[in-house]
Structure 1
Amino acid sequence: MTVIKINAITVPSDSGDELAQRFAARAGAVDDQPGFEGFELLKPTDDRTTWLVVTRWSDEESFQSWVNSPAFGHGHRSEAERSGGSAPAHVGVSSELWSYETAGGTSR
């Protein structure tokens, strides 16, 4: 059964675009991980400042394997860090990891 992990990242109201750019810079970094099924970055369309990073995994073990892998650490470093530079300031002011599994719905 698919496991859905949602990282709810709260950013200052003027930092959402920077968050999106940072995710775009590492697009595809997780695509080849065993058990990975998909990714979405959801931007709020109202006054909220919490963005949602939604990933889907074939099972909990696949997600945990990725979190504990060198690829996870590498993928969460900035482009500057990967080139030997300093880490930029954090964009998010807080984050929470939520875990779900599908309990119903439809798809096309």
Structure 2
Amino acid sequence: MTVIKINAITVPADSGDELARRFAARAGAVDGQDGFEGFELLRPSDGRTTWLVVTRWRDEAAFDAWATSDAFAAGHGRPTSPAPDGGAQRPPVGVSAELWSFEVAGGSTGT
């Protein structure tokens, strides 16, 4: 069953564009991960400062495998890995983050 992981990232009001740039620079980085089904970065349009990173996975095990992988560590600036461009690690954009987990319980394709 598809699982949805939503990373709710709160950023300073003037840092949203930097968050979007960082995600754009890594576009497709998770695409080849076994069990990955899709990704969306949602920019708030109502004055909030919390952005949502929505990913869909085949199952919990597929997400866990990615979350413990070297690719995840590299993409999330873990100290054990160099920056993607070989330079120094950049400081996080977000001031806080929360991971939410959901299973698809119903819906519509809109067609």
Q: Sort the TM-score into its range (normalised by shorter chain).
A: over 0.9
Which amino acid is 2:73 matched to? G
Q: Greater share of helix residues, 1 or 2?
A: 1
- Taking the TM superposition and a 5 Å limit, the aligned residue runs for 1:20-59 are 20-59=20-59
What secondary structure is seen at the aligned counterpart in 2 of 1:81? coil
Q: Is the 8 A contact 2:75 2:84 kept in 1?
A: no
1:97 and 2:73 matched: no
Match of 1:81 in 2: 83
Unaligned runs of 5+ in 1: none
Unaligned runs of 5+ in 2: none
Identity across matched positions, percent = 68
Give, in angstroms, the shift of residue 84 of structure 1.
2.8
Partners in 1 of 2:22 and 2:16 — Cα distance?
Answer: 10
Aligned residues: 107
Match of 2:70 in 1: 70
Give, in angstroms, the shift of residue 24 of structure 1.
0.2
| Superposition TM-score, scaled by structure 1 size | 0.93
Give, in angstroms, the shift of residue 75 of structure 1.
2.1
Match of 1:15 in 2: 15
